[in-house]
Amino acid sequence: MDLITAIEKTRRDLLELSARNRLIHTPLETKKPGWIQIDGERSDQLFDLLVRQSKSMTFLPKAVDDATSDVEKFRLAFDGPNNNASNSEDYNSDEELITSATEESDGHTDLILQTNIAPDKLHDRLLKCFYEARTSEEEQGVSILYLACGFLKWRESPSSTVNRYAPLLLIPVELSRNNARSKFRLKFRDDEIVTNLSIQARLQQDFGIRMPDLPESVTDDENWSPSKYFAEIANLVKERDGWELMSNEVLLWFFSFTKFLMFRDLSPDA
């Protein structure tokens, strides 16, 4: 086997474009997800707050009592009804979050990420994400925690009725907290914002669909927005039955590009 053939075989072995790859299919319809689903938010506003404004955001769990106001839910869920606020450093640093929840009426421009997860389960999932992200960075030297904004619902063939869901825009983020009793915060990790290279390759391979690339620096291009990018993709797939662009589907989870980047780096044209 000559060198070029060996390299090409290695490249093919690295390229995982089956539904086992969560970049090809994130099973949104599963009943027991491991990720954190964000409800009632808009990709454009999240991008602006996290990336352009460098804001930290926190999470609001599912309401336990519908009669309780949103701000009271926020305080109770994270500080507890019997917690002494004067003894909590984290409480005082939350005034911007509390104020934003009080002043903003549409829920899309405050600093609170809404979820439909009960408080105890939300805490457990955030804690698991926090430790898994830290372990990945310590052991592999890379962080794979992303806020996935926008999903493409697609099908593997015209005759298929099985829905696949692929994330489209991945914002690198990190979780942090002041201490074991304080709530988790989410902020943009100053790293490259990427599109889904795996689904890009799969659609090109199977359907001849060439998804648009992102600008060289989406953070510096004030005219760029997630919704404009999603609109380009929606236009490419609009004639396909069962396909749908879900522009405001957002979740926090782990996505790894390592093998695909190695595949690309080994290209003879690289």
Question: What tens-digit pLDDT sequence spans the chain (270 residues)?
Answer: 677 777 666 666 666 889 999 999 999 999 888 899 999 999 999 999 999 999 999 999 987 665 555 555 555 544 444 343 333 444 445 555 545 544 544 556 689 999 999 999 999 999 999 999 999 989 888 889 999 999 999 999 999 999 999 999 999 999 999 888 888 999 999 888 989 988 998 999 999 999 999 988 788 888 899 999 999 999 999 999 999 999 999 999 999 876 666 666 666 665
Give dist(CA 145, CA 136) in Å, integer: 9
DSSP reduced 3-state for 23: coil
Give dist(CA 248, CA 105) in Å, integer: 19
DSSP reduced 3-state for 14: helix
253, β-bridge pairs? 146
Structural contact between residues 38 and 114, judged by C-beta atoms closer than 8 angstroms: yes
Give dist(CA 92, CA 123) in Å, integer: 20
Structural contact between residues 77 and 61, judged by C-beta atoms closer than 8 angstroms: yes
Which residue is associated with the tokens 């408080």? 119
* Verdict on whether the full-model pTM lies above 0.85: no
Q: For the chain, how many helices (H) and strands (E)?
A: 9, 8
DSSP one-letter string for 73-99: HHHHHHH-TT--GGG-HHHHTTHHHHH
Give dist(CA 11, CA 267) in Å, integer: 8
Token readout for 2 is: 């000559």
Structural contact between residues 193 and 51, judged by C-beta atoms closer than 8 angstroms: yes
